[in-house]
Chain A
Amino acid sequence: MTTTTTPPTTTPTTTPLGRTLALARVNALLMTRNRLTLFYGVVLPLAPLLFLLSAPRGDEAAGAQAATTVVLFALIFPVYYNVLSLVVTRRDELVLKRLRTGETRDSEQLLAIALPGCAVALVVSVLAVAVGAALGQPLPVNPLLHVVGVLAACGLFATLAVWTAAWTRNAEAAQLTSMPVILLAALGSMRSAPFPDAVARLVDLTPGAAVDMLVRLTWYGEHPDGGTTGLAGTWAAALPPLAVLVAWAGLALWLARRSLRWEPRA
């Protein structure tokens, strides 16, 4: 195949990483420009840190509950709700379509939308450790696994957001269409509630429950099956909840790929 003209060989070409970071940087900037996104993207996830204050100094049960809430808030607002509303808004503004005409790939656009919120979630969950420590809570048993768990959950909630965006008509509608996933996350965090056995087993398979288990395990050494474990025991114990997150992410990815739209409905 011959081509008509060859661009000068000196032309620097863009790279996927460069494009993704350029977009992510602007998305982060835009998050701070809009009062609403600034509120639920940055302020709201910081708020549950106050729960740590309410736990009596050194009360690990209350501390674990607060830590779980902090991480879930960080997943629901800066990641899930933020990504959902950004995808919907950018789609309606035709920003996504405009960017698709260029070299930027679809996956780069979506990653760049998710990155700032995921960074907030990560910072908040690390900040929670510092605030917790200052208030007499223990340091995480397995800090590395704590971070891995948060990152896996970020991936899941960002993917769920893209899927939700596929059937969300506009930014206002997102307030309603986000409810199923938010309720699903909230349900899982109520693992300690006295559910019948059969229900409890199902609840354990929700994303919220997986996050709850991972936070309690990696931070407080609470084994999902009861009792406590040291650092060595956390790796194996983390596998089931991580598998739950990966399975949900796979499902969300499959659904999102089938239904995602890049421009508003005509």
Chain B
Amino acid sequence: MTDTATPAIRVSGLRRSYGAGAEAFEAVRGVDLTVETGTVTALLGTNGAGKTSTLEVIEGLARPDAGSVRVLGLDPVADRDGVRRRTGVLLQHSGFSGDLTVLETVRLWTGLVSGARPAEDALDLLDLAGRAGVRVSSLSGGERRRLDLACTLLGTPEVVLLDEPTTGLDPESRRDVWRLVRGLRDRGATVLLTTHYLDEAEALADRLEILHEGRIVRSGTTAEIVAGHPSTVSFRTPAGSLPAFGPRLDVVRVVEERGRTTIETEELQPLLTQLLGWADRHGVRLDGLSASTPSLESVFLAIADDRTEALR
């Protein structure tokens, strides 16, 4: 019964606005997104890029102003019951009654989720068994997030939507969540998560979608996204007048800023060879020399700073 032709999530031409008239703000401006079954996709973006606004429509919490959303081939609003039974959602902010204990909260949710595992198992899964009798109001931020995840994964959701699952978690808890997400994929579930941690996106996702000002501006694997972006070599700008630096092979541009020279190039190795040969020949000392291939971070920051055209 596996039909790989139907992606787990398909979003096309999605638009979503807030407010009306002169105060209207369009947060999502034509998003197309496909998440194949059994994969992990990370929706990356700065604050206000439209990540949560997009996710809320996929979750069925909001209706799109334009475009369409299909989850497991179904409309999350019109086919609500069918979709909800098969999806698990984690909102950006947890929502629990502080006066209930951890166990009471999960017990409540076992009555609300089809095919829920026993509450005790869910607590074990997220390492909360030792906190079962504690009121939710006394939990740390990280514990509350884990409780939230326990509720999200109470059934056996085929599609899991996680809005900033690790924000506010300590590094150890973050790794635990990563393990869980990988575990979800291993059992064939599809995961769409938002994050503004680049390392998280790189570590977890098969595919990245970078959202900027309500549009998807880059998609693909990390390698695909950084392809075509220059490597950089930088060093402290040596004092005094310098001998001319030979034929500038494939140099995209040179920036001198606050006593540091940065060279952007498409061909890192030949440029480094040239640069080091030149320095050697002329006895120039390159303090603080560093060379780096394009990273998700450099591309992401360029997008966030609206420098994309300059980098292209």
Contact = CB atoms under 8 A, between A and B. Distances in A.
- Most A Cβ at <10 Å: residue of B111, B156, B158: B111
Interface stretch (B88-96, B261-269, B302-310): B88-96
Contact of B113 (A21, A30, A100, A103): A103
State the main secondary structure of chain B at its contact with A.
loop
Contacts of B72: 3-4
B108 A22 contact: yes
B93 A7 contact: no
B85 A13 contact: yes
Nearest to A1: B73
B100 interface: yes
A102 B104 contact: no
Nearest to A103: B84
Nearest to B108: A26
Given A4-B6, A94-B93, A30 B114 contact: no
A4 B8 contact: yes
Contacts, number: 113
Nearest to B154: A102
A49 B156 CA distance: 51
Interface residues of B, number: 43
Interface string A83-94: 000000010011
B112 A104 contact: yes
A99 B114 contact: no
State the main secondary structure of chain A at its contact with B.
loop
A192 interface: no
Contacts of A223: none
Contact of B95 (A14, A96, A103): A96
A9 B149 CA distance: 25
B111 A14 contact: yes
Q: Sorted from nearest, which 7 A-B pairs have the closest CB atoms? A: A22-B111, A98-B95, A94-B95, A101-B89, A11-B115, A13-B114, A33-B99
Interface of B: 1-6, 8, 37, 59, 61, 72-74, 80-81, 84-86, 89, 91, 93-100, 104, 108-109, 111-115, 148, 151, 155-156, 158, 188, 190
